[in-house]
Amino acid sequence: MKTLLGPRLAFDWKIVAITIVSTLLLILDAYNQFTPYKGLDRTILYLLIPLFIILIVFRENPRDYGFTLGDWKAGLIFTALGILLITPVLWFVGRGGSMTDYYKPQVSGLPWNTFIDLFGWEFFFRGFILFAYARKFGPEALWLQAVPFALAHIGKPEIETLSTIFGGFAFAWVGYRTRSFIYPFLIHWFVASFTVIVAAGLLG
pLDDT, tens digit (0-9, with 9 covering 90-100), for 61-86? 999 999 999 999 999 999 999 999 99
Name the packing angle between helices 182-199 and 72-93 (round to 10°). Answer: 20
**Per residue in 128-177, pLDDT tens?**
999 999 999 999 999 999 999 999 999 999 999 999 999 999 999 999 99
**Section 38-44 average pLDDT:** 95
More confident call, 5 vs 32: 32
In Å, what is the CA distance from 98 to each residue of 1, 60, 102, 155? Answer: 55, 43, 6, 11
Q: Where are the domains of the chain?
A: 2-199
Residue 55 has pLDDT above 80, yes or no: yes
Q: What is the pLDDT of residue 200?
A: 83
